[in-house]
Amino acid sequence: MRTRYPKIHEEGRRVYESYETLTFERRGTILTVRLTNPGSRNSVNQKMHEELSRVFVDISRDRETRIVVLRGAEEGRAFCAGGDLHWLETEARTPEGYAEILRQGVEIVRSMTALPQPIIAMVDGPAIGLGATIALFADICLMAEDARIADPHVGVGVVAGDGGAVIWPLLVGPNRAKEFLMTGEALTGAEAAEMGLVNHAYSREQLEQETYRLAERLATGPRLAIELTKRSVNLFVSQVMNTVLTASLAMEGITFQTADHREAVRAFFAKEPPKFGKGQE
């Protein structure tokens, strides 16, 4: 059975043991962080959302770590299936609840961008909604050829505000991003790599080997040069993020109050297609 904190020094062990929905493994100077909510395809519930908002700050203080590999728990059969709708439907109903979701959402992507150590996302299963955002905000994203990635916020009647409106246009251009964000259409890893949404796609059998091969290459390279190269590129990414992210999250909050969203939630729990446009907005 896989242990939660193998080969992590005592100080780091104490820090990482405070997490419930993220598990950690050490391979030399490579730290693997797994999104762990196996009963719900590694979806982001309230606890994981809060933990993701602070984990990269903790990792930034762990100078034993030179590279982070971000992946889903194997038993969850996904990288991350997105935000847990049960939690969001409850918390986003009040301004106070959504304000906290907004604060944590901003912290997740800002802390990923600000983390000195490079992050490699290993996507061997579905990366949906917020799961896609987390994967794409990694510095390098590798996918299985047959894995699927999508940002279907519109499918539940809300804006793709948790970072999708920032990162998709940066990677594939505004018009192509709008096509996929406005339709929620999924891409395979092979398709995503071909259009430049992710770095590379590999067969499922090759993906883990290629991920850790790249992680080892970066981990044994010139640390400061690599970290400052990430920072240099992310000066530009951060400018876009600071312009777009809070506004897009606020727009997402507005759409949580619409009739279309209420219909999408009703249809989701009833396991039937939604019928949008039935009520007054």
Question: What value does the mean pLDDT take over residues 121-130?
Answer: 98
Least confident of 86-100, 110-124, 184-198: 86-100
Helix axes 130-137, 164-172, angle to 10 degrees: 50
* Mean pLDDT score across all residues of the chain: 93
The predicted pLDDT at position 13 comes to 64
The tens digit of pLDDT for each residue in 230-247 reads: 999 999 999 999 999 999
Arithmetic mean of pLDDT, 70-96: 91
Whether the predicted pLDDT of 57 surpasses 50: yes
Average of per-residue pLDDT across 174-184: 98
Q: Which residues contact 250 (CB under 8 A, 6 or more apart)?
A: 102, 161
59 φψ region: left (φ > 0), alpha (ψ -120 to 50), beta (else): alpha
* Domains observed in the chain: 10-205+223-270 (3.90.226.10)
Give the per-residue pLDDT at 10.
54
pLDDT bin (cut points 50, 70, 90) of residue 281 is very low
Q: Residue 160 corresponds to which amino acid?
A: A
Per-residue model confidence (pLDDT) at position 28: 96
Q: How far is CA 178 from CA 164, 175, 187, 249, in A?
A: 10, 5, 14, 16
Where do we find the tokens 């590379």? Answer: 200
pLDDT tens digit string along 3-26?
Answer: 455 455 555 567 899 999 999 999
- The pLDDT of residue 2 is 43
User: For the segment 244-257, what is each residue's pLDDT rounded down to a tens digit?
Assistant: 999 999 999 899 88
> Per the confidence metrics, is the pTM higher than 0.85?
yes
Mean pLDDT of 72-98: 90
pLDDT class of 1 with cuts at 50, 70, 90: very low
Residue 64 pLDDT exceeds 90: yes
Contacts 24+ apart (CB under 8 A), 131-134: 131/35, 131/42, 131/43, 131/44, 131/78, 131/79, 131/80, 131/81, 131/82, 132/82, 132/164, 133/109, 133/162, 133/163, 133/164, 133/167, 134/35, 134/52, 134/70, 134/80, 134/108
Q: Which of the 8 DSSP states describes residue 181?
A: H
Using pLDDT thresholds of 50, 70 and 90, give the confidence band for residue 126: very high
Question: Residue 33 — very low, low, confident or very high, per pLDDT cuts 50/70/90?
Answer: very high
In whole angstroms, give the CA distance from residue 219 to residue 48. Answer: 27
Average pLDDT over every residue of 172-178: 98
| CB-based burial, 182-204: b 16+ in 10 Å, e otherwise | eebebbbbbbbbeeebbbbbbee
* Residue 54 confidence class, pLDDT cut points 50, 70, 90: very high
